[in-house]
Structure 1
């Protein structure tokens, strides 16, 4: 079965170009120039990933990302001509998994798509192995996280986490009691080389804490060890 990719960009030249590259790689593409038509497609099709432009005529890409995240967990990559860190952080905290600025090399975008699809498939497919079984569920003071079902509960309430947020929380829970640096966390979860001044981890941690109903000053679960990283005690 072909993986289905949604591309939403009001610049037809860019959308058409991305469509050509994706189709050449064997993907099924659903291309739209506005958010309204894209949302109809999201409700109708079983999509594998979405590529959203930030500047759209009827709804900005951040709002579209939020609307998609209400019911869907597939990866989302944001496209924008803006380069400000705040725009990047906004997209990531609203549920995006990656971010790429225009102008971009279509081959780089295709590589990012493949990386997100690999990661999403890996974390949502049961691992069949002859090795010793891995830990599948973890309970920590009312926080219950299950790897196989990709579900997370806090005091019995199910939390709606994006795949990236789930992967971050699972990685920290597996290593509870140890401090995990931003560099280690980024390279383990994103599978890419960590660069200095990368705010991606911080943005996702902030969003994760919000969903865990963590107080800003004294979080109960994901704690910051200043100058070192993050830990779950």
Structure 2
């Protein structure tokens, strides 16, 4: 049973999330502030964290940043703020997704399930993008007709990162940090160049997937549905 840590100083929000997620088979642990939540996460296994931004003792920004220092788990923000600047800040700190209060609890459940699906895919070595398969063990691209090819390592890593988290928005800064490292001396244009090369390289496979530019935010990969 997946264990979800719900962190919000509003009791009725925690109760709403708990009722809907428990009906879907999730185990819920509730904390009313970021400090208590961080202490729990440091000493107990947690599969996902759902957190508010405005909380006493430690806000959601700080909690998210601390969680990312020791764990790789899905993080979903629940916030009353819907401005793009807040979304950008959340994504830069490691948030995977967010919902804005007042939210539809059914939508929340769907987002939680989608995040778990993304993370399960990300921990495997195979990602399917329509008629293309990415094999991280061999770093090969396999086509539906059985043919294989290799592409430059950074291009593969970038496509694999986007593909294993299809539908998720990545800022340029987060991609640089995750794929090139904190000490990378270049700038965000490096990501743009690699995205351009991937689009050109797989232009004949737009029916399988496409990399979408979200103006002012970053990129996400969308897999075309049959």
TM-score (norm 1): 0.65
Corresponding residue to 1:176 among 143, 148, 152: 152
Q: Secondary structure at the match of 2:135?
A: coil
1:39-78: per-residue Cα shift (whole Å, max 9, x none)? Answer: 1220222111100111111111010011111111011111
1:102-127: per-residue Cα shift (whole Å, max 9, x none)? Answer: 11111111111111111212222466
Q: Is the 2:74–2:96 Cα contact (8 Å) retained in structure 1?
A: yes
Q: Does 2:190 align with 1:190?
A: no
Deviation at 1:94, TM superposition (A): 1.1
Q: Is the 1:89–1:200 Cα contact (8 Å) retained in structure 2?
A: no
* Aligned-residue RMSD, C-alpha: 3.6
Deviation at 1:137, TM superposition (A): 5.7
Cα 1:186–1:111 shift into 2, 3 Å: farther
Q: Is the 1:6–1:51 Cα contact (8 Å) retained in structure 2?
A: yes
Q: Does 2:200 align with 1:224?
A: no
Q: Does 2:60 align with 1:90?
A: no
Question: In the alignment, what sits opposite 1:202?
Answer: 172
Structure 2: gaps of 5 or more residues: 127-132, 140-149, 200-226
Question: In the alignment, what sits opposite 1:165?
Answer: none
CA distance in 2, matches of 1:76, 1:112: 11
CA distance in 1, matches of 2:115, 2:172: 19
Question: In the alignment, what sits opposite 1:136?
Answer: 137
CA distance in 2, matches of 1:73, 1:228: 29
Q: Is the 2:6–2:50 Cα contact (8 Å) retained in structure 1?
A: yes
CA distance in 2, matches of 1:99, 1:186: 19
Structure 1: gaps of 5 or more residues: 139-173
Q: Secondary structure at the match of 2:82?
A: coil
CA distance in 2, matches of 1:37, 1:45: 12
1:135-182: per-residue Cα shift (whole Å, max 9, x none)? Answer: 4165xxxxxxxxxxxxxxxxxxxxxxxxxxxxxxxxxxx7538979x9
Q: How many residues align?
A: 183
Q: Is the 1:223–1:230 Cα contact (8 Å) retained in structure 2?
A: no
Cα 1:76–1:24 shift into 2, 3 Å: same
